[in-house]
Amino acid sequence: MIERDEVLHVARLARLALTEAEVEAMRGELASVLSHIAKMDELDLEGVPPSTHVVQASGALRADVRRPSLSRSAALSQAPAVSEDGEGFLVPSPQA
């Protein structure tokens, strides 16, 4: 089992609220999955380079040119809340 405090710490990092029942379930399930992940420890990984790209990456850079994008109204069209002037996303105040 993973400690309750550790589950709550990770949940806070993930910006994920959990109920008491979810916290308890997570303690066992995460521990169980991590015990299987520990199979990696069987391998000697000394000197093995970590993968960054598995297939040769190409063309990742392009010229920085201005071009048309979504209109403001299209970008805002799916927002749960939009400011009264229609200019931006509306969120609760971070200070509240």
Partner 1 sequence: MSDGELLRLSAAEAAAAMRAGQLDPVELYRAYRQRAGADLAAGEHGLNCFTWVADDDGAAERLGSGLPLAGVPLAVKDLFCTEGVPSQAGSKILEGYRPPYTATAVARLEQAGAPLLGKCNQDEFAMGSSNETCAFGPVRNPWDRERVPGGSSGGSAAAVAAGLAPWALGTDTGGSIRQPASLCGVVGVKPTYGAVSRYGMIAFASSLDQAGPLSRNVTDAALLLRHMIGFDERDATCLHFPNHIEIPQEGDLTKTKIGVASQLSAEGGALERGVEDGVAQAFADALSLAGQLGASVRTVALPHAPHALAAYYVLAPAECSSNLARFDGVRYGLRACAVGDRDGGGQAPRPGDASGEGDPSEALFGIEAEGELIGMYARTRHDGFGAEVKRRIMLGTYALSAGYYDAYYGRAQKVRTLIADDFRKAFEQVDFILTPTSATVAFPLGAFSSDPWAMYLNDFFTVPMSLAGIPAISIPCGRSGRGLGPDGEGLPVGLQIVGPPYSESRLLQVAYVLEQALRFDGEVALA
Rounded CA separation 32/28 (Å): 6
Number of residues that bind partner 1 (CB under 8 A): 63
- Here's the x/- map for partner 1, 19-58, by CB under 8 A: it reads as xx-xx-xx--xx-xxx-xxxxxxxx-x--xxxxxxxxxxx
CA-wise closest residue to 9 among 19, 21, 23: 23
**Is 15 a binder of partner 1 (CB under 8 A)?**
yes
* Residues 75, 78, 81, 86, CA torsion sign: positive
Q: How far is the CB of 66 from partner 1 (least distance, A)?
A: 14
Rounded least distance, CB 7 to partner 1, Å: 7
Cβ distance to partner 1 smaller for residue 1 or 16? 16
When asked if residue 13 is in the footprint of partner 1 (CB under 8 A), the reply is: yes
Based on the shown chain and the rule CB under 8 A, indicate whether residue 1 belongs to the binding site for partner 1.
Answer: no
CA atoms within 13 A on the CB side of 14: 9
Q: How many CB atoms lie within 10 A of CB 26?
A: 19
